[in-house]
Amino acid sequence: MQVVSLDLTNFRNYQTLHLDPGPGLNVFVGENAQGKSNLLESLYILATTKSTRASRDAELIRQGTGLCRLQAQVNRTTDLDVKMELAISLVEKKQARVNGVKHTRMSEVIGKVNAVLFDLGDLEIVRGEPSNRRRFLDLEISQTSPRYVHALAAYRKTLEQRNHLLRDIRDRRAGPHGGETVGVWDVQLATHGAALMDGRRAFIDRLGQLASETHKAISDCRDELVITYQPSFAIDAIGDVEEIKREFLTRIDQVHHEERARGTTLIGPQRDDVQMLVNGADSRLFGSQGQQRTIAVALKFAERQLIEELIGEPPLLLLDDVLSDLDDLRRGHLFEFIGKAGSQTFLSCVSVRSFPPDILERASVWRVSKGLVTRQPE
């Protein structure tokens, strides 16, 4: 898909912006705090209705104003072209229009435009706590599997209720028959938990393989990345969801006394992790900054590939500050990869000095300065 025009009004540091991006690689270059990340963010919001950086929508509205508008014309090959409009206001509910049709339920407009974003926060997937990796899994799998969304909501609710009950049992507040109900919560936990584990296992299998290939290419065949699912208890690599559920119930039985003594659930997807080994070493602990960034980038390219397979056309690729920490060799391979991927790409950086000349030749280069964007050379 192709963004052929982007219009912003009172979004972050943009008073008004009109942009006609080029079809392939678009490079946004500028000093710090000029609006490069903001611009990429606006495209991500048009695709997902949400920002990854802002904790509240109000942060997106230009200070001193009360309403911001984002609008993009996106041409697609496998579906109708989309004119996507979003209005975010301090007082009213967020509103979207898709080809002029009004929506206030955001779930109805997600997926009309597809985008994959790499930003600084994604490094936490590699180097952060396990919760970062679980959030990444949930977010990615949810995008393509309604069943997973359903299981996730049911699992969280069940876990909350079960933890509450275990705490009551520990503190002897569970009532005369409270303890008897744990077994029923166990079944619920295992049912929804097995669905999550099954989804995560399949996703990591596929994503890991793709990421590994990308990673190998970007690192000039020097680094071998192996991504594996690390559930809170071992499961058969090929067993079906029913088998996982049975194993779940067996395991939860084994921690019966400990759970009641500690007052919390001790196994399940809330304790899952993903291991990323580079040449056999845990990259979370031993990876260099460049190596960690390479992994995060490889994950995003793998995600891009998965989405393309699913929707039948390349999604937008938004790469914020992707080049820092990478040496020239890795940068070169990354540019090759961007070219091969075939996604319309929006890349931000502080300088184009180290860019390969042939890449610059074919790219659309834009200078971003104080919320103004101008085509280079002017």
Partner 1 sequence: MSTHYAKPLARLVGEFEKLPGIGPKSAQRLAFHVLRIPEDEAHALAAAIVDVRTTIKYCRVCGNFTDQDTCFICTDPRRDQSLMCIVAEARDLIAMEKTNEFRGVYHVLQGVISPMEGVGPDRLRIAELQDRLSGGIVREVILATNPTVEGDTTAMYLARNIIKPLDPSIKITRIAHGMPAGGDLDYADQATLISALEWRRELT
Ligand X SMILES: Nc1ncnc2c1ncn2[C@@H]1O[C@H](COP(=O)(O)OP(=O)(O)OP(=O)(O)O)[C@@H](O)[C@H]1O
- Counting contacts by CB under 8 A, is residue 177 touching partner 1? yes
For residue 279, give the amino acid letter.
N
Out of partner 1, Mg ion, ligand X, none, what residue 165 binds, judged by CB under 5 to 8 A for its kind, is: partner 1
First to last CA, the chain: 27
Contacting ligand X within 1-30 (CB under 6 A): 12-13, 30
Query: Given strand 225-230, what is the order of strands in its sheet?
Result: 225-230, 273-278, 281-282
357-to-154, 332, 336, 340, 373 alpha-carbon distances in Å: 53, 11, 13, 17, 22
Nearer Cβ to partner 1, position 52 or 143? Answer: 143
Task: Report strand pairing: 2-11 vs 67-75.
Answer: antiparallel
Out of Mg ion, partner 1, ligand X, none, what residue 161 binds, judged by CB under 5 to 8 A for its kind, is: partner 1
Contacting ligand X within 341-370 (CB under 6 A): 348, 350, 368
DSSP annotation of 26: E
- Counting contacts by CB under 5 A, is residue 270 touching Mg ion? no
- Least CB distance to ligand X at residue 9 (A): 12
User: What crossing angle do the helices spanning 289-311 and 130-144 adopt, rounded to 10°?
Assistant: 20
- Counting contacts by CB under 8 A, is residue 54 touching partner 1? no
- Counting contacts by CB under 8 A, is residue 178 touching partner 1? yes
Q: Per-residue x/- mask for Mg ion, residues 19 to 38, rule CB under 5 A? A: ------------------x-
- Counting contacts by CB under 8 A, is residue 256 touching partner 1? no
Residue with tokens 């900054």: 289
Task: Report strand pairing: 101-103 vs 95-98.
Answer: antiparallel
- Counting contacts by CB under 6 A, is residue 292 touching ligand X? no
Closest CA to 243 of 189, 190, 182: 190
Q: Are 227 and 207 in contact (CB under 8 A)?
A: yes
Out of ligand X, Mg ion, partner 1, none, what residue 12 binds, judged by CB under 5 to 8 A for its kind, is: ligand X
The string over 167-199, giving b where at least 16 C-beta atoms fall within 10 Å of a residue's C-beta and e elsewhere, is eebeeeebeeeeeeebeebbebbbbbbbbbbbb
Q: Per-residue x/- mask for ligand X, residues 28 to 67, rule CB under 6 A? A: --x-xxxxxxx--------------------x-xxx----
Nearer Cβ to partner 1, position 89 or 161? Answer: 161
Closest CA to 198 of 233, 163, 244, 152: 244
- Counting contacts by CB under 8 A, is residue 265 touching partner 1? no
Nearer Cβ to partner 1, position 60 or 195? Answer: 195
174-to-151, 162, 302 alpha-carbon distances in Å: 27, 11, 47
Size of the site for partner 1 (CB under 8 A): 25
DSSP annotation of 22: -
For residue 47, give the amino acid letter.
A
Closest CA to 299 of 371, 368, 217, 208: 208
Widest CA span in the chain: 79
- Least CB distance to partner 1 at residue 263 (A): 12
333-to-112, 173, 215, 355 alpha-carbon distances in Å: 31, 61, 10, 12
Nearer Cβ to partner 1, position 168 or 336? Answer: 168
Q: Nearest-5° angle of CA 157, CA 198, CA 151?
A: 25
- Counting contacts by CB under 8 A, is residue 110 touching partner 1? no
Contacting ligand X within 298-327 (CB under 6 A): 321
- Counting contacts by CB under 5 A, is residue 232 touching Mg ion? no
Nearer Cβ to partner 1, position 99 or 209? Answer: 99
- Counting contacts by CB under 6 A, is residue 374 touching ligand X? no
Residues shown for the chain: 378
Of 23, 66, 183, 312, which one interacts with partner 1 (CB under 8 A)? 183
Of 164, 216, 251, 271, which one interacts with partner 1 (CB under 8 A)? 164
Size of the site for Mg ion (CB under 5 A): 1
Q: Any bridge partners for residue 84, and if so which? A: 72, 98
Nearer Cβ to partner 1, position 180 or 253? Answer: 180
- Residues making contact with partner 1 (CB under 8 A): 146-147, 149-150, 154, 157-158, 160-162, 164-165, 168, 174-178, 180-181, 183-185, 187-188
Q: Which residues bind ligand X (CB under 6 A)?
A: 12-13, 30, 32-38, 59, 61-63, 321, 348, 350, 368
Residues near Mg ion (CB under 5 A): 37
